[in-house]
Every structure is written in C-alpha cells, then in structure tokens.
A and B are shown apart, each in its own frame.
Chain A
Amino acid sequence: MSDDRPNASVMVVGGGMAGIQASLDLAEAGCTVYLVEQSPAIGGLMTQLDRTFPTNNCDLCTISPHLAETRRGLNIELLNLTQIKDVQGEQGNFKVTLISKPRYIDTFKCTACGECHRKFPDCVNLTPGLDHRAPTCMRYPKVIPEAFSIDMEKCKDVDSLVKVCPAGAIVPDDSEKVMEIQVSSIVLAPGAELFDPKELPDYGYGKFKNVVTGLEYERLLSASGPTLGKLVRPSDGKVPKRIAWIQCVGSRNINQADTPYCSSVCCMYALKEGIITKERFRDDIELVVFYMDMRTTWKDYELYYQRAKDEYGIKFVRSRPHTIDCDPKTDDLLITYTLEKHSQPATETFDMVVLSTGFRVPASVIELGEKLGIQLNEHGFVSTSSFNPVATSKPGVYVCGLFESPKDIPETLIQASAAACMAGKGFPPSVKKAGFDDQLPPERDVSAEPVKIGVFVCDCGYNIGSVVDVDKVASYAQGLRNVELAEVVGHGCSNESLQRIQQVIKEKGLNRVVIGGCSPRAFELKFQDCIRKAGLNRYLLEMANIRDQDTWVHMDKPEEATEKAKDIVRMAVAKASLIEPLQEVQLEVKKAVLVIGGGVAGMEAALGIAEQGYKAYLIEKTSQLGGVAPKLRTTWKGEQIAPYVDSLIKRVQEHPDVEVLLETEVESTTGIIGNFVTTLVSSNRKGDKKVVEHGATILATGGKEYKPTEYLYGEHPSVLTHLDFDQAFTSNDPKIKEAECAVFIQCVGSRIPERPYCSRTCCTHSLESAIALKETKPEMDVYVLYRDMRSYGFREDLYRKARELGVVFARYELEHPPELKNEDGNKLSITVMDQILGKSIKISPDVVVLATAIVPNENKKLFDMLKIPVNDDGFLTEAHTKLRPVDAPINGVFIAGLAHCPKSIDESIAQANAAVARAMTILARDVITLGGVVATVIPGKCAVCLTCVRTCPYGAPSIGEDGHAVIDLAECRGCGICVAECPGKAIVLQHFTDDQIIAKIDASVAVSST
C-alpha cells in the first residue's frame, strides 16, 4: 500500500496524546505516518478527564482541536482497532505485520449520527471501556475517527441493526484484516493503565460503592459523564459533604502491590479534583487528602498546592491509611489512620473516598516490548539513557509518554515531540513532503460574478429530520434573495453528500455556500475543505446551525423549530451574500534555525537541527560551550555527565551545519514565523556584527544554581551547594573524604515565600550524593533534612536505596527550619525539630550540603526583544501549559531546558529534541501561509491613537513605517477585540465585518424580501 510514497515513513503505536503529538509533528515535517491504535478511537486517557491542572480548563475543550488536527494532517493514516502482530527488519527498513479487528462500520459512509447507538445501545461502541456506564453515555462526543463501531457478538438481531443506519454504513460481514507495512522507524506510545485497587482489599474498592478511583471521580464531575456533571455518591445518589482522597494507591508500595515507584501525577490530579469540587461547593463540603509526600514539582505546580491549602481550605493529613470500613446502614466510610506524632490511631467518617491510583504497564504492552526486543526495566517500563532519553535499546525504535515512565501531559508531549525528532532523523529533506497541498484545483475568481448562493439542508438522520421539516426549510430558502439553489442533502457530512455538493457548485456555478446543519464547531473545516476542492475559496461558506441550536433544544416543538430553522437559514443567507474570498499571504521559509544558549539544551538543539539537514546558528554569550552541566557529577541514573558533555561539544564543533558563535548576543530581531532576521553582536572584538536569516528560533538560555545567603554559606568552608559537593566529591577533596557526618538540607531557596516554586531536581540530587557517600564510606552518618521527599517516578528507587543504606531522613517544617551554627573551633552544629519524634535533635556534621534552588539566567533584554513573557519566577512562558510545552507564545519560537523551568538533564535533552521536531514542522514547508480570518487596518481611517496596540492580547498591532497601524498577520488570532475597540472603525475583521454581523441581526427579525 505504500509503494508510491517516499520512504520517510514512521509507525506510531498508540493513539493517546503522545501518539497524536508525535504523529502530527512527523506528518507536518513531511513524513508519512501510520498511527496504530487498538481501540476504535484516538485520544487515550486524556479524553476521559474532566478538567486539567493547573489551569482547570475544560479538558475536552482543550484537546478537541488537537484531535481534529489529525484529520487534516494528510500524511497520517489512522489504523484503529489495530495491533502489532510481528516486527521484522531493522532501522530504516522495518516490516510490521498488523492485525485489524472488524469495525462492522464503513467509516467512509458513517456520519456518527448516532441512530444505531440509540436503537442498539448494547452493541454499539461509542468509545471503549473505563466508564462504568459506557457505552450508553456520550463520554467523548468529538470522537476521531468520527464513526461508531459495533460489537457484533452482543448483537442478536443483525438485520434490524443494519436497517437502522440511514447511511447504510453497517457491514455485518466485516472481517479481521492482516496487513504488512514497511517503515523506517517506530515510535512507541502505547500508554499505561491505571492500577486496579481491588489488589488492595483493605480499601474495599469494588465492595463499597462509595470508594471510587480518581478517574471515576473525574467522570462524576464531568459534564459529559454519567451524571452530567452532578456530583452524587454512587450508593444512594446523596450529595457528599465530606470526601477523602488517599494518595499512592498502587504507587510507592512494596508490600501488597508490586509497584515501588511513584506515579508522578496523582498528587496533582487529587489537588485538581479537590479544587474543582471546592469551586462548586465552597464551604458546603469538607475535603481531606491523606498523603505521604506532596510531589508538586513541575512548573507552577507548587503554587497550585499552596492554593489548594490556603485558598480552598483543603485539609492535608500526612498519613497513609491502612483500612477503609463501611457502615452498612449509612454507606458512610470510616478511615483509620495514624499521625506522625501520635501513637494512637484516629478514625474519621466520610461520605466518599477517592483512591488516587497510579500507573502500571499493562501486560499487553510488556508483550509488545518483548516482541520488539527492546529492553525494559524492572518495573516493566522502557529502559532509556539520560543522554538519549527517548531511544530504546533497539536502534530505530523510540518511546514516549507513560511507557517510558509515569508522567503528566506536558512531559508526555515534550517526549512525543522528541521521539518525532529522533524518528524523523536520517531522511534528507528532499524525500519528505509536507502534507498540506493535496493537489487542490486553482481557486475560481468570483469577484466579477453576481452572488449565487447554494443552500444545503441536512436532515442529519433523526437529529434534524425528525423535528424540523427539512423540505419546507429548503423550499423556503429557495425563495430567498441571492439563492440560486436550495436542496436537502441527507447527511451533508457524508462523503457521498460532500461529492454531491461539489458537483452542484460546479454545475450551477455557485459562489457562496450555506450549510443548514450542525454547529460550525463540528464540521466547518470539513465543509471548507469540500468547497475548496470544488474550486471555491474556503471562506465562501456559512454554517446555519439548525441542529445544536434548534432541533436538539426544541425537540418537543417541531413547528416552532421549523420556523426557527427558516430564520437561522435566512440569517446565514444574509451574511453569505456579503462574504468575500479571503486571501492568504505566502512567505518563503528560511531554512535555518537560530539557537540561543550553548548549554546542553542549546547544543542538543543545534546538533539536532543540523542532523535533520538544516543550518543551525548556535550563539553563546560566554566564551565556552557547556553551560552548567560540566559541573554536575552524574545523572540520577548514575551516568557520568562530564564525558557526555565533552563529546557533545566536539560533535557540535565538528558538524559542518552548526555555526558556533561564542561571546555573541542578539542585538535586534525582526520578522515572523518562517522568516526572522536577527542581528548578532560579538562582545569580544569591537562588537562585530552578523545578520542571520532563520525560519525558527530556539531559546535555551538556561538557569543556574541559587547561591545562598543563608546557612553560613560562604562563611564556613564546609558548607557546600550541590555543585560544590559534586566537584569536591569528584576531586576526592579531603573535606568529603575525611568527613564522618554529612547533612543535606533540602529546599534552600525553594518553596519559600520569596521563591515559591519547587526546583524539582534537588531531592534526587541529594539522594544520589547521599548514596555515593554511603557507598564509598558505609560508616559515615548521613542525614537528609527535608520537607517533602520529591523523588518522582523511578527516582523513588533511589529514596528506597538510600534508606536501605542507612541514610537518616528527618522532616522539618517551613516554620521551623534547621538551625546551623558555627561553634567553638569552627565546628558546625545543626539543631532540627524532628516531626516524627516531636523533639529537636542535634547533629554535629563535618560537611553540610545545601540543596539550593535553580534560578533562571537573567535575560530580560533578550526576552523583551523577542516578546516572550516570563512567569513570576522568571521562567519563560509557553504557548499552552498543557498542550504546547515547547512552543513559546510567539509563533516560530521554541523553548528548551532550564530557561523553561527546573528539570533534570534527561528532561532538558528531551525538550531540546522536542524543540527540533517543532522547528521541523516549519522548516519542512517551503512557504508559510498567513491570513484568513484576521484583522486588517484601513490606513486612511487610522488616527494612530494606539488603542489597538494597547488592546490586543497578543501584541499583533504596531505602528508601521507609513504612519498607521499595521497588524502582524502571524500573531493575529482573529478575535476581533481591536475591531470593536477601535474608535475610528479603522480595523476590519475579515469574515466578521460590521456589515456582515449587522446583516445577520437585521435578518433575524425582518422577513427578508424575496
């Protein structure tokens, strides 16, 4: 099937967020992608969440546009209900055998009208599993592919089922298919499953109805869930007054469940569920979270935790409850727990208990790993190196998302883009083909033609046709001014009808199209593509939403609904009479990338660009490459860092396509995505200047260790920071070698009012160092004074190992920090209030290591010049916290490494790889298309009052050289705020002009003249 395609083809296994992102990045960079997903729909776990932290935005609103993109990336072949049977061959030439289960539905004909689902709910799958009421509820309404699937085994009356489909899409004799596909590389993104709490019988899950998992609770909160978003407890439908969360269910557990690692996301999702619940019920509900360590380490997460505590009044209890009991009379739940300082257990009653379950690799995924012959770690996840974080042990096979380690959405997406970067490597740009052209016919010039509108009214099966008389609506529309033709098209969105519409456009010479059917949010893109294929500009379309805003809400009033449908169509025709084709501007893409910052992230990014076959300019303001990394001893997995950095520097310097410019900074920059022009200035030799043209920019300006003023740092020679310690340890400094007692103090400069964020890496760094001390000198006394031990993911293994080696962990609270004194004879002493003993303990250390914060490098001038904002802590802001963690808010600019937020070296490298993949989506194109629904200025009316400049949320308008406002097409998002604010009415929003809006308003009342 792939004979005529270039061999830049990649198979992506798994259609969750990771697989989708990897596929989109690869397809946009010109590769052919086969996206293999075992269930009937893509979207994975994320489509089942209610909202996402830390923004608490509606999850489906966030993800839907992303899912929809996969339908437009023309080089993605979606293979649903499909699994890998066998893989042969090697990098560059894998032969993959796939098995597809029958769907019993022809996706070409199915329009997802829902008729089969309504009549045969038991045997029609809307989406698979997990929801206890699935498939009878609309859990995931924007499913992709937009088609149902049938469970034939459950169907008793196949003939009636086939007849119920108005599109004739049900294929009862569909059968299993085996196919072989040849690809150059494979990206594994199969995801993970949630731990089944039935394995912990003491929690009573499955026995007590009011004990639910975090995901089930999420379904209860969700507007698309089984209770339509009403929070009631499962046993009796009562609104709960007290809810408890129990953390680490199936995580950090070596006794009953064999899951010793931390699942990394459950702290945050419990906080999110708590906050959303509190937002709804305020003081009417009491929430308690039982936890061991609160691990809120990613960007802005610590703040979220503090808000949950202080602003929302969620109560946190540091204890791992042993048992949940149920009062059979009331269905209430009793939790027995022990507090640190008390020896006697306490019992509390709750209406509901939510178990924060963690991730596990499903047996089927482990089997897949074995089939491919890749190395897995002892927990069943893929083994990777810190320096090549998405590569598996088998060349050409890459991994991202949960199969690599437990992680949340932004980290998953970073890895997905990184895997896309690695999998897309090795194809010269010439064999790649960006998939946007699809051989469209030239656009017809309609400017001289009289307006000829075609109105197509859908019956949408039961959805519209059963309420509104569509024939009446069509014949009414036929009589409206400018309407050349009006007809009923059945399911307008089916491929059959789309072809009919195209045919009519050509035959009748239509130049505007109105679709009387569903919401533009559903199918506007599809209909735009449809008319474009018939030679019309894609903006010559107007949707009349007679379904979502009419038949679905006035089912019991068919006559009123028909009248309303006529009004809606009349309004759409009135607007359509005034719409114009919109021109899109094309700019040539400069095939080079400017990378700012010569640390590990910057070097990896520059090298990645060069290895993809493009030019990279790598600028560094100091006189050497390397950044902070050469000062670090090992990664958390134990790999030596210095040799890696040395070899990286060498590879960067030797690559012919990387131009390294040391002691160089940005002087000025102009231009937009695909087409930047930057002037670089050298700081060493009389300010030499160089002008570079580049299609994208990668910011990797790095961060550094906070140099403390507290804890006698700089006053006593035995008080060290992490970097000091690493150097002293490596050089066998007697200070370390001869020490008999070492103390690590955590959170120095982090999680304090002046610097509220968590620096993420310091707990792990202290664990590494403490283990190294104990391994070289077992008799040494090693203490770690901490607030929460944040050894997320498999770093938890280090925490366990340190305890086994005899490292003593003592917890302190922010209000009572350890007191470090320099006593007589320059001897150090520490007093700390131990929370478990409830007493102060005194230690006399020979060396003290301060786990200090990571702070961003100071680059205000540069960031201002590039118009990239920073957060309150000085870290660069991304375009979307959740879904675009590598993209800066300015198009064409990407972020990698510590400048974004504190992270470990493997995470920085992954983000650098990801930035390369994102930049490739631009460089693979020859031109960038701008325009469409954007604001434009009428120069003669502009009074240069600067209102638009002040108003625009995206900084798109500026005052141009000609003395009037101009709007940067690359930045304009088409919201129209400037248009409504402009006092001179000098700005027009294309497709939503005042004339068009007013025509619609007028048409809503006036029975238009015919």
Chain B
Amino acid sequence: MDQAGSMRLSYPASVRTIRVPCAGRVDIIHLLRAIEDGIDGVCVIACLEGDCHFLTGNLKAQKKVQYVKKVLEELGIEPERVEIFNFSSGQGVEFAEIAKQMYERIKALGPSPVALKKAA
C-alpha cells in the first residue's frame, strides 16, 4: 500500500486504512463493525499466499472473510462488500488497480443498506 504511495500511483480518495500487524489479526467483529458503522465496503489486504510474513495469517484471514460474506448474505447485505486481496509489499501497481476496482464495485452496489437506514 505504501509502495503505491512511493510510486505516486493514484487511487480513489475514499479509501481509509486501519493498520494491523498481520491480516491474521483481523477479526470477524472488526469486519462486521465496519459494516455496522455504515462503511460501504471493507477489504483485508494480506500477504501473497504461501508468502505470509507470519506464515499463515493470510490463510486465517481468508477464512474469516468468507465467513463474514456468509453472515452478510444471511442479513440481506451484498457479500461483495467484503473482500480479501493478496499482495506483496512491492506490488504498488497491483494495489492501486485493485483499490480502483473495489471502488467501482462498491459504487455499482451503491451505499450500504446500513448507511441508508442510519441516514433515514
């Protein structure tokens, strides 16, 4: 992510970042809390598969994201709002590209139903 910065690649300004030491630290409650807060989409950014800085954290994160997708589906919220992507810390170009794609995906889905309800 910082590599995208070092390379001065632009991506949508609506991206906000929460730093964790490893994707494996990301908990189901964190993802759900973000949705509950009315955030339109959440991504977990993890190391490449097989190349996790902490060996297995990215795989654990993958499972949690899949679980949260299921929960959202049951709640009638589009599961596509939560996603996990794998990068190496050198892949700034790829990150910027995925950030744009995710932004387009969320834009197409429109505001989160939670946010709409909150507004109403």
Contacts and interface: CB of A to CB of B under 8 A. Distances in A.
B56 A1001 contact: no
A967 to B, nearest CB: 15
Contact of B16 (A57, A571, A974, A975): A571
Given A519-B2, A555-B8, A557-B13, A1002 B89 contact: no
A1001 B2 contact: no
Nearest to A61: B89
Given A973-B54, A977-B24, A989-B21, A553 B60 contact: no
Interface stretch (B32-40, B73-81, B102-110): B32-40
Task: Give the most central of B13, B51, B89: most A CB within 10 Å.
Answer: B13
Given A1005-B37, A1005-B39, A951 B60 contact: yes
B70 interface: no
A561 B24 contact: no
Nearest to A1002: B37
B28 to A, nearest CB: 8
A97 interface: no
Contact of A553 (B4, B24, B38, B64): B4
A228 B4 CA distance: 11
B89 to A, nearest CB: 5
A73 to B, nearest CB: 23
Contacts of A171: none
A203 B117 CA distance: 71
Contact of B24 (A138, A224, A519, A975): A975
A979 interface: yes
Contacts of A994: 27, 29-30
B55 interface: yes
Interface in B49-91: 51, 53-57, 60, 64, 88-91
Contacts of B17: 545, 549, 568
A552 B30 contact: no
B54 A520 contact: no
Contacts of B54: 953, 973, 975, 977
A17 interface: no
Contact of B30 (A519, A564, A933, A1001): A1001
B30 A58 contact: no
Given A977-B54, A1001-B37, A223 B24 contact: no
B8 A228 contact: no
Contacts of A61: 88-90
Interface string B88-99: 111111001000
B18 interface: yes
Nearest to A561: B13
A348 interface: no
A304 B60 CA distance: 28
A141 interface: yes
Nearest to B19: A520
B64 A980 contact: yes
A980 B5 contact: no
A61 B89 CA distance: 7
A223 B91 contact: yes
A866 interface: no
Interface string A512-554: 0000000111000000000000000000000001011100111
A881 interface: no
B39 A1004 contact: yes
A556 interface: yes
Q: Which of B16, B20, B33, B64: most chain A CB closer than 10 A? A: B16
Contact of B57 (A554, A975, A1002): A975
Contact of B10 (A57, A228, A554): A554
A229 interface: yes
Interface residues of A, number: 53
A992 B21 contact: yes
Given A57-B51, A553-B96, A997-B30, A976 B24 contact: yes
A140 to B, nearest CB: 12
Interface string A491-527: 0000000000000000000000000000111000000
Contacts of B24: 975-977, 980-981
A224 B9 CA distance: 13
Contacts of A557: 13
Nearest to A976: B25
Most chain B beta carbons < 10 A, residue from A57, A977, A1000, A1006: A977
B2 A981 contact: no
B97 to A, nearest CB: 13
A563 B13 CA distance: 9
Given A976-B25, A1005-B37, A552 B6 contact: yes
A567 interface: yes
Contacts of B57: 953, 975, 977
B25 A980 contact: yes
A568 B16 CA distance: 7
A1002 B118 CA distance: 14
A1002 B29 CA distance: 12
A286 interface: no
A975 B25 contact: yes
Given A223-B90, A975-B54, A980-B60, A1002 B33 contact: yes
B43 interface: no
A994 B3 CA distance: 27
Contacts of B90: 58, 60-61, 223-224, 229
A561 B5 CA distance: 13
Contacts of A57: 51
A229 B94 CA distance: 12
Nearest to B54: A975
Contacts of B10: 553-556
B2 A975 contact: no
Nearest to B15: A549
A877 to B, nearest CB: 13
Contacts of B39: 1001, 1004-1005
Given A980-B64, A1001-B30, A223 B92 contact: yes
A554 B54 CA distance: 31
A58 B89 contact: yes
Contacts of B1: 548-549
A992 B91 contact: no
Given A519-B5, A545-B17, A992 B25 contact: yes
Nearest to B18: A1000
Contacts of A1006: 37
A998 interface: yes
Interface string A217-239: 00000011000110000000000
Interface string A982-1010: 00000001001010011011101110000
Interface string A124-147: 000000000000001001000000
A989 B57 CA distance: 14
A553 B11 contact: yes
Given A223-B92, A1002-B33, A1006-B37, A554 B60 contact: no
B120 interface: no
Contacts of B26: 980
Interface string A774-815: 000000000000000000000000000000000000000000
A303 to B, nearest CB: 15
B7 interface: yes
A141 B8 CA distance: 13
Nearest to B27: A980
A992 B6 CA distance: 26
28 contacts: A58-B88, A138-B6, A141-B6, A229-B93, A519-B5, A545-B17, A545-B19, A549-B15, A549-B17, A553-B4, A553-B8, A553-B11, A555-B8, A933-B21, A953-B56, A953-B57, A975-B25, A976-B24, A977-B60, A979-B27, A980-B26, A989-B25, A997-B20, A998-B33, A1000-B18, A1001-B39, A1004-B16, A1005-B38
A-B pairs, 6 with minimum CB distance: A976-B25, A548-B5, A977-B24, A953-B55, A975-B54, A552-B5
Given A553-B11, A1004-B39, 12 more contacts: A223-B93, A553-B5, A555-B10, A568-B17, A976-B25, A980-B26, A980-B60, A980-B64, A989-B21, A997-B18, A1001-B18, A1005-B37
